[in-house]
Amino acid sequence: MMTIVTRVTLKEGSEPKWDAAMKARMESAKTQPGWIGGQLAIPLDGPSSRVIIGTWQTRADWEAWHADPKFQETRRELQGLETRSSEEWWHEVVTDLRAA
């Protein structure tokens, strides 16, 4: 199991539109092979930043989703609301505990 953490910085005033588009993207990810779960977070020290945490069975599953036309469509929309390229960190999951 793999988790990717992505941090993006948003253009001032674009936060509500970006959040709505990302929520829709994450909803569509639920139907993708290998999707386990995800979170969208706002850092306490950066209200115009966002952190996306996505967990997948494999990195290949994540890469296949990125080739999906629906993903590509939202990518263009979201990038127009961001101030610069995102930063990504991959992690191999050792333990995954969630409430029942």
Query: What pLDDT, in 10s, does the model give residues 15-64?
Result: 999 999 999 889 989 999 999 999 999 999 989 999 999 999 999 999 99
For the chain, the domains span 2-92
* pTM for the full predicted model: 0.89
Check residue 4 and give its pLDDT.
97
Query: Which CATH number describes the domain made up of 2-92?
Result: 3.30.70.100
Q: What average pLDDT does the chain have?
A: 92
Residues in the chain: 100
Pair 72, 39: CB distance under 8 Å: no
Three-state DSSP state, 92: strand
Write out the H or E segment, with its range, that includes residue 79.
helix 69-79
Residue with tokens 């969208």: 40
